[in-house]
């Protein structure tokens, strides 16, 4: 009761002198820079949960990456040899190459597709609201379900269709082809991720004032020129956000690959996240923990670079 | 002035912050402390937790538990069929009391870490066929002499065949590799798929053609014990390596793969069961676990099994076996006496033999009756005469993505690369687990 009343009292706009008991008791003048304790109360529960459920387990993981712990039983310190072994493991290195190539490709494709869809949905077309809804459906579906459905399509429907059409290269499932399976994964990921990016682009496009285009029309700029010189620069912040969020998300790709190929055929589509997770079932806990720490450092580096880019663009997340 | 004001108000919020953090921490710790000790004895009734590894036989064990509880009113048994809970249970130091597991590398690892109690003193241990008990101890014994698990069910796998198709084409069960190839040619010439392939599920390639060909060509157990003895000190050129031993077996795998239907790469285990049950192929490289699925898909299908002959000497032909269920008691259980009574009950002939009869498996008891199920009679000679091996795939630590490599080999047909990869993976795992 006392807490709620105090919060209620202090939850007034900061920066005004507070005529309540708190300031009267201390008898001091509250300056504009005083931070209202309410804000601490807002941050605190999340901070505690974050520390307990994310920071602490992560630190425990770092600790065990220096041991030969299998997840249970006896263990001892082995120094950095897990880290040394990671760099000598071609299967792990291959998963890094795959993940980065996949993330780069998918980021580019998702943004091109999403921007195209957003431009279309922003134009004054018929049934705009209905079409928008249809385009956003993939976003509310679970990635695992989507990938199982596509798995069936790629393995059964598509080969039958292609055989009818006499197009033999696709008459066997592309999921069974070591060189093509990743394209199927990119395709499904794009299908699932594009709506999210589209929403952000739509928001961006709606923030562009129509006067700009009217002026461009008067100057005789064509629609492509308008897109390149007006639309794109004006929504650049949204593009940067989409690229950064997308790339970060695709680096952790897991469930779509599990649903489509399970990392196969052979070792062709093993992502880093899958390798790390294999440590839990494989008695390889500490080794894959070392892998996770390395991957964390790499993604941290990428994030720092991206944050720099964002700041230069004047966008803040 | 500003700093002064800050300095005076800050302690209040900081104190509050610490208090809240402490409260949150304490609240979070509360449920954790509850995990360690579950009261297992209440009103004189001991509660046992029994984790078994086969979700498809829950009903059978429910009945067994009911019968057991009727005979032992002071014990209550709770069945858990989610094997995935086992390791988390170990981590929390709260594992189930009685466990069944398929016995292979992963379980052997638990044995080596001393997770299970020694059962060699139990009277019921003497009723187990020593050859089958050896399959368990071949993985290594804790302290060199303990019996950490008693076999409950032995699954024998070979080639499942469609008796009607064999009869219609006048093909006898082959006893040599050449006869087997000739049979495949006969089916192919008649427009029947000789072997149904489900390459999309890579484990079917691993436990199927890879294990069968390797087990038929070389002494798998001996190979792996020599390989393990070398530890991390293994090179591709060493006489113990995969490269030096598996070479001659690989072409036979490709021969088998070539007799599969078109598009085998896009078919999975479920597709395979449905198609084979409908008579879309003459043979299927699967173990007894597929039989019930096949019958479920077509109750009129007449099936048989035979061990795959890999050489031209019929005496060499062996079946692939695995201890599908082995009973263990966790070492630190507070209910040891009750757990031992339950395990003894499970190994009574009426329980264990009935289970194996119902599930197309072989009983591990010394005086088990002969198998009558026509689906597996073709394998019983191999099992009773001890002509069997445990699959090569079961010897691999789970951190090696072996099935992926096997699949890669079947698709890419590059045997040298495949064996070099296995040698590499084996050495790396040995390196990081040896330290």
pLDDT score of B208: 93
Question: Could you say which architecture CATH assigns to the domain B157-318+391-434?
Answer: 3-Layer(aba) Sandwich (3.40)
pLDDT of residue A44: 92
3-state secondary structure of B119: coil
Residues A155-194 pLDDT 10s: 888 888 888 888 777 777 788 888 888 999 999 999 999 9
Which of B122, B52, B148 is closest to B337 using CA atoms? B122
Sign for the CA dihedral angle at B90, B94, B97, B98 comes to: negative
Residue B91 at interface with chain A, using a CB cutoff of 8 Å: yes
Q: In the numeric block, which tokens belong to residue B282?
A: 């003459």
Give the closest residue to B303 by CA, choosing from B207, B193, B165.
B165
Residue of A nearest to B85 (CA): A281
Q: B158: closest CA among B214, B209, B222?
A: B209
Please report the pLDDT score of residue A3 as a whole number: 40
Residue A223, pLDDT score: 83
pLDDT for res A2 = 38
| Cβ-contact B211, B286 below 8 angstroms | no
- How sure is the predictor about B40, in pLDDT bands with cuts at 50, 70 and 90? low
Domains in chain A, CATH or no CATH each: 2-64 (no CATH), 87-313 (1.10.3720.10)
Task: Check residue B162 and give its pLDDT.
Answer: 95
Q: Count CB pairs under 8 A between chains A and B.
A: 146
Cβ-defined contact of A72 to B266 (cutoff 8 Å): no
- Chain B (201-220) residues lying within 8 Å, Cβ to Cβ, of chain A: 202
Determine the residue among A264, A278, A286 to mutate to test chain B binding: the one whose Cβ has the most chain B Cβ atoms within 10 Å: A264
The CA distance from A31 to A39, in Å, is 16
As a whole number, mean pLDDT of residues A298-312 equals 85
Q: What would the DSSP string read from start to end of B274-333?
A: HHHHTTSEEEE---THHHHHHHHH-TT--EEEEPPP-SS-GGG--EEEEEEEEEEEBTT-
Q: Please check whether residue A20 touches B, CB under 8 A.
A: no
Residue window 14-43, chain B: list those with CB within 8 Å of chain A.
Answer: 16-17, 20-21, 24-25, 28
Among B residues 237-266, those touching chain A with beta carbons less than 8 Å apart: 262-263, 265-266
pTM value is 0.78
Task: Flag whether pLDDT at B28 surpasses 50.
Answer: no
Interface test with B, best of A168, A283, A290 (most B CBs within 10 A): A283
Q: Which of A64-68, A296-300, B396-400, B425-429 has the lowest mean pLDDT?
A: B396-400
Q: Quote the ipTM score.
A: 0.71
pLDDT value, residue A29:
53
Q: What is the pLDDT of residues B194-244, one digit of tens each?
A: 999 999 888 999 999 999 999 999 999 899 989 988 888 888 888 999 999
Residues of chain B with CATH 3.40.190.10: 41-154+322-370, 157-318+391-434
Residues in chain B: 435
What confidence tier does B11 reach under pLDDT thresholds 50, 70, 90?
very low
Q: Which range, of A167-181, B109-123, B125-139, B297-311, averages the lowest pLDDT?
A: A167-181
Closest partner residue to A267 among B25, B399, B404, by Cβ?
Answer: B404
Contacts with B433 from chain A: Cβ below 8 Å: 68
Q: Is the pLDDT of residue A11 over 80?
A: no
Q: Write the pLDDT tens digit of every residue in B293-312.
A: 899 999 999 999 999 999 99
Residue A30's pLDDT is what? 53
Average the pLDDT over each of A180-194, A238-252, A271-285, B176-190 and give the range with the smallest value.
Answer: A271-285
Per-residue confidence (pLDDT) for residue A198, from 0 to 100: 93
How would DSSP label each residue in A228-296? IIIIHHHTHHHHHHHHHHHHHHHHT--HHHHHHTTT-STTTT--HHHHHHHHHHTT-HHHHHHHHHHHH
In a mutational test of the B interface, the residue from A6, A30, A48, A275 whose CB has the highest number of chain B CBs within 10 Å is A48
Topology, domain B41-154+322-370: D-Maltodextrin-Binding Protein; domain 2 (3.40.190)
Best mutation target among A7, A26, A53, A265 (most B Cβ atoms within 10 Å) is A265
Strand partners, B329: B98
Q: Does B334 touch chain A (CB under 8 A)?
A: no
The pLDDT score that the predictor gives to residue A20 is: 46
Provide mean pLDDT across the span A35-47: 89
Cross-chain Cβ contact A52/B24 below 8 Å:
yes
> Which residues in chain A are contacts of B260 at CB distance < 8 A?
none
Instruction: Verify whether the Cβ–Cβ distance B399 to A37 is below 8 Å.
Output: no
For a pLDDT cut of 90, what percent of chain B falls above it?
57
- Is pLDDT above 80 for B4? no
Contact with chain B for residue A67, Cβ under 8 A? no
From B8, which residue of chain A is nearest by alpha-carbon distance? A26
């Amino acid at each position: 009761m006392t807490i709620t009343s105090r919060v209620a009292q202090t939850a007034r706009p900061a920066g005004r002198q507070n005529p309540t008991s708190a300031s009267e008791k201390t008898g001091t003048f509250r300056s504009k820079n005083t931070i209202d304790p309410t804000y601490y109360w807002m941050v605190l529960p999340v901070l505690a949960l974050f520390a307990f459920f994310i920071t602490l387990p992560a630190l425990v993981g770092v600790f065990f990456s220096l041991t030969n712990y299998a997840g249970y039983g006896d263990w001892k310190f082995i120094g950095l040899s897990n880290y040394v072994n990671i760099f000598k493991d071609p299967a792990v290195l291959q998963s890094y190459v795959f993940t980065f190539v996949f993330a780069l490709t998918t980021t580019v494709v998702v943004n091109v597709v999403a921007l195209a869809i957003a431009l279309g949905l922003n134009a004054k077309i018929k049934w705009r609201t209905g079409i928008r809804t249809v385009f956003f459906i993939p976003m509310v579906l679970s990635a695992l379900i989507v990938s199982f459905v596509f798995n069936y399509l790629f393995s059964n429907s598509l080969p039958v269709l292609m055989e009818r059409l006499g197009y033999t290269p696709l008459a066997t499932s592309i999921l069974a082809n070591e060189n093509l399976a990743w394209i199927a994964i990119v395709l499904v990921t794009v299908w699932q991720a594009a709506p999210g990016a589209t929403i952000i682009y739509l928001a961006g496009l709606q923030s562009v004032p129509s006067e700009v285009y009217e002026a461009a029309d008067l100057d005789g700029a064509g629609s492509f020129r308008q897109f390149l010189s007006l639309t794109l620069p004006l929504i650049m912040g949204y593009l940067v956000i989409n690229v950064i969020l997308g790339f970060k998300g695709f680096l952790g790709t897991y469930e779509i690959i599990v649903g489509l190929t399970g990392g196969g055929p052979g070792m062709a589509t093993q992502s880093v996240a899958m390798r790390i997770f294999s440590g839990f079932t494989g008695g390889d806990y500490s080794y894959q923990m070392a892998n996770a720490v390395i991957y964390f450092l790499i993604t941290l580096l990428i994030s720092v670079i991206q944050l720099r880019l964002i700041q230069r663009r004047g966008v803040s997340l | 002035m500003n700093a002064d004001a800050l300095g005076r108000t800050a302690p209040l919020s900081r104190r509050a912050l610490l208090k809240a953090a402490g409260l949150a921490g304490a609240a979070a710790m509360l449920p954790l402390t509850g995990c360690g000790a579950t009261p297992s004895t209440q009103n004189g009734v001991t509660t046992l937790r029994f984790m078994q590894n086969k979700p498809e036989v829950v009903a059978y064990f429910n009945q067994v538990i009911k019968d057991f509880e009727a005979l032992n009113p002071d014990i209550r048994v709770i069945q858990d069929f989610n094997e995935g809970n086992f390791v988390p249970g170990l981590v929390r130091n709260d594992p189930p009391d009685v466990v069944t597991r398929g016995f292979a590398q992963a379980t052997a690892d638990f044995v080596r870490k001393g997770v299970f109690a020694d059962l060699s003193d139990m009277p019921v241990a003497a009723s187990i066929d020593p050859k089958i008990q050896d399959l368990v101890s071949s993985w290594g014994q804790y302290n060199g002499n303990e019996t950490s698990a008693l076999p409950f069910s032995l699954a024998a796998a070979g080639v499942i065949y469609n008796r009607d198709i064999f009869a219609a084409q006048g093909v006898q069960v082959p006893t040599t590799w050449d006869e087997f190839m000739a049979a495949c040619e006969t089916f192919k010439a008649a427009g029947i798929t000789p072997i149904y392939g489900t390459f999309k599920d890579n484990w079917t390639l691993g436990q199927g053609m890879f294990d069968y060909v390797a087990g038929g060509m070389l002494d798998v157990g001996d190979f792996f014990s020599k390989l393990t003895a070398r530890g991390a000190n293994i090179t591709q050129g060493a006489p113990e390596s995969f490269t030096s031993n598996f070479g001659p077996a690989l072409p036979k795998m490709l021969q088998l793969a070539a007799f599969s239907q078109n598009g085998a790469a896009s078919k999975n285990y479920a597709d395979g069961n449905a198609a084979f049950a409908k008579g879309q192929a003459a043979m299927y490289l699967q173990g007894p676990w597929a039989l019930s699925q096949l019958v479920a898909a077509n109750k009129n299908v007449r099936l048989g099994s035979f061990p795959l002959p890999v050489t031209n000497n019929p005496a060499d032909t062996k079946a692939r076996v695995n201890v599908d269920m082995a009973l263990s008691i966790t070492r630190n259980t507070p209910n040891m006496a009750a757990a031992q009574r339950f395990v003894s009950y499970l190994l009574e002939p009426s329980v264990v033999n009935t289970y194996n009869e119902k599930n197309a498996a072989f009983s591990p008891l010394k005086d088990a009756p002969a198998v009558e199920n026509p689906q597996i009679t073709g394998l019983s000679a191999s099992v009773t005469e001890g002509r069997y091996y445990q699959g090569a795939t079961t010897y691999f630590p789970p951190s090696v993505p072996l099935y992926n490599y096997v699949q890669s080999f079947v698709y890419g047909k590059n045997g040298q690369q495949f064996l070099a990869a296995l040698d590499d993976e084996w050495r790396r795992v040995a390196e990081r687990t040896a330290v």
